[in-house]
Amino acid sequence: MFTGIVEHLGKVIDVAPLDFSESGGKGFSITIGEAAEILGDCHLGDSIAVNGTCLTVTEFNESSFKVGVAPETLRKTNLGSLKIGDAVNLERAMNAHTRFGGHMVQGHVDTTVSIVSRVDDGNAITFVFQVPEEYQELMNYIVPKGFICLDGTSLTVIDVDDVKRTFSIMMIAYTQTRVVMPHKALGDQVNIEVDMMGKYASKAVDSMVKRYLNGEEGESLVAKIIDRVLAKRASAN
């Protein structure tokens, strides 16, 4: 579990599409350097969010660490497009003594969204993102003034356009110097994780509605509604 408060900017120092080393596990691996600030209490198997993606540390030293990236993660995130020299947002898994300054972030990226607009507004920057058409349902969980996690950064949604599948956020000057997004261009892909509380609420409501509509409970619910309507009409007469 993470908070969406980026702790440090690391730098990609190696990308191995097929890493046959023991720590690479015969899969895709990324090694991130300039990370000494967050490795003082690191252990093998620890979780570190890289651009908002929860990954497992398979090897580390004083200043760098390696993570393996599963095929599904490569399909859902922008990690597969990282190159040596790229900066990445880093956050260690939260502990009991962490100030909860952002929101509950799992590090389970839903997909990537594209940057379609970037406008300076005083010392802040307003970014507009578009959700892919095949992930239209994610718009159900993106609401004005709600939480959103973009490349591992907890941000507040400003506006939402469900028809265009777009939403916007504003990034203050302090955050601009501590995350990767200001270095990205129009069209670049950004990892998105919508608020998981919205997903749980939606799932619970959907299940309840289906249960009522498809079973005896549904008939009972309809009967209760009809009885109430008839009772109101009777009392009115």
Catalytic residue ranges? 2, 47, 54, 56, 70, 108, 156
CB of 118 within 8 A of CB of 136?
no
Sign of the Cα torsion 133, 76, 113, 156 reads positive
Report how far apart, in Å, the C-alpha atoms of 225 and of each of 143, 203, 205, 207, 228 are: 31, 24, 19, 20, 5
What span, in angstroms and rounded, lies between the C-alpha atoms of 28 and 43? 21
Element containing residue 126 per DSSP (H, E): strand 124-130
76: nearest Cα among 195, 192, 196: 192
User: Which residues lie across from 60 on neighbouring strands?
Assistant: 65
User: Which residue type is seen at 6?
Assistant: V
- Residue 10 near residue 34, CB atoms below 8 Å: yes
Phi, psi of 93, rounded to the nearest 5 degrees: -60, 140
* Helical (H) or strand (E) element with 50: strand 47-50
